[in-house]
Amino acid sequence: MVKSLQGQIAWITGGGSGIGLAGAMALAKAGAHVVISGRTQATNDSALTTLQAIGSAEALLLDVADKHAVQAAAQGILAKHGRIDMLINSAGTNATQRNFDVVTTDAWDDVVGINLNGSFYCVHAVLPAMRAQNGGLIVNVSSWAGLYASKLTGPAYNTTKRALLALTESINMEECQYGIRATSLLPGEVATPILDKRPTPPTQEQRDRMVQAQDMGQALLFLAKMPARTCINELVISPTLNRFYLGGLEAPPAR
């Protein structure tokens, strides 16, 4: 890892908490200017206080499911900074009532709108600038569920996270000629607030043995510091004690 991040502009969606915030902290500490976006003002404000104690950062109030707002956000970043070197699509959600016998069409639309549509809207918004500057890194935060569908995560989450793999490879196929590279980041269980949306949230003891948010921050820093000539197409990260290997997570969750 030899690439300097000094002066790089990184836009991180879902940057107010979890994997997004951990990535923002790691990148800011390494010298990048981070622009976090999220749809909750209080979360953004808290994260920004943390980030500005470490390095250079700003925050945008943004719902990535709103394609017009996404376009405006990208144009605002470009107008202020002149470039976007990294896009990390970390905004994500899941329904609590998520399996076929209980999931609603509105819940499906919400998960698809954020996890898939939102990621596409952000990619679509940054690509022209990345082409013009002849380079850029896009990281789409997928999931272990993107490789191995699970009853635990449900059909909407499974579908959107697997679709991100296809989105990532489409970027690499079409945009590599412009120096643009994309990575699907596929974590197993990570101890972040999204776990609270499970029908039966994990215990603190279980969370302590999962991948931690700061571990994912280091993974994002690794991707960011790779030489521009190198593309990491997929990066899979799981807890050493991987509960999907041990059984018991595939049964339909209690309701």
Does 253 score more than 80 pLDDT? no
Summarize the confidence of residues 46-54 as an average pLDDT: 98
Q: What is the pLDDT of residue 255?
A: 32
User: How do 136-141 and 9-13 pair as beta strands?
Assistant: unpaired
Residues 62-83: pLDDT tens digits?
A: 999 999 999 999 999 999 999 9
Question: Three-class SS of residue 136?
Answer: strand
Length of the chain: 255
- Using DSSP's 3-state secondary structure scheme, residue 96 falls into coil
Q: How far is CA 145 from the centre of its chain?
A: 14
In the predicted structure, residue 32 carries a pLDDT above the cut 90: yes
| pLDDT tens profile 137-153 | 999 999 999 999 999 99
CB 127 within 8 A of CB 180: yes
**Domain annotation for the chain: domains and CATH numbers:** 9-246 (3.40.50.720)
Mean pLDDT of 86-114: 97
Contact 54, 31 (CB under 8 A): no
Nearest CA to 5 among 36, 20, 26, 35? Answer: 26
- Contact (Cβ atoms closer than 8 angstroms) between residue 103 and residue 95: yes
191 has a pLDDT exceeding 60: yes
Tell me the average pLDDT across 189-205: 91
As a whole-number percent, the residues of the chain with pLDDT over 90 amount to 91
Residue 100: per-residue pLDDT: 97
Specify the pLDDT at position 248: 56
pLDDT of residue 154 exceeding 50: yes
Res. 250: pLDDT tops 80: no
In the 8-state DSSP scheme, what is residue 188? S
Residue 157 a catalytic site member:
yes
Q: How does the average pLDDT of the chain come out, rounded? A: 95
Q: Is residue 247 very low, low, confident or very high in pLDDT (cuts 50, 70, 90)?
A: confident
Q: What pLDDT is attached to residue 168?
A: 98
Residue 10, SS3 per DSSP? strand
**How far apart are the C-alpha atoms of 162 and 255, rounded to whole Å?**
25
At 45, the amino acid letter reads: D
As a whole number of angstroms, the distance between CA 25 and CA 27 comes to 6
Q: Which of 121, 157, 178, 245 is catalytic?
A: 157
36 DSSP β-pair partners:
12, 59
Q: Quote the DSSP letter at residue 176.
A: G
Using one digit for the tens of pLDDT, what is the confidence trace for 2-24?
Answer: 578 999 999 999 999 999 999 99
Tokens encoding 104? 């609603």
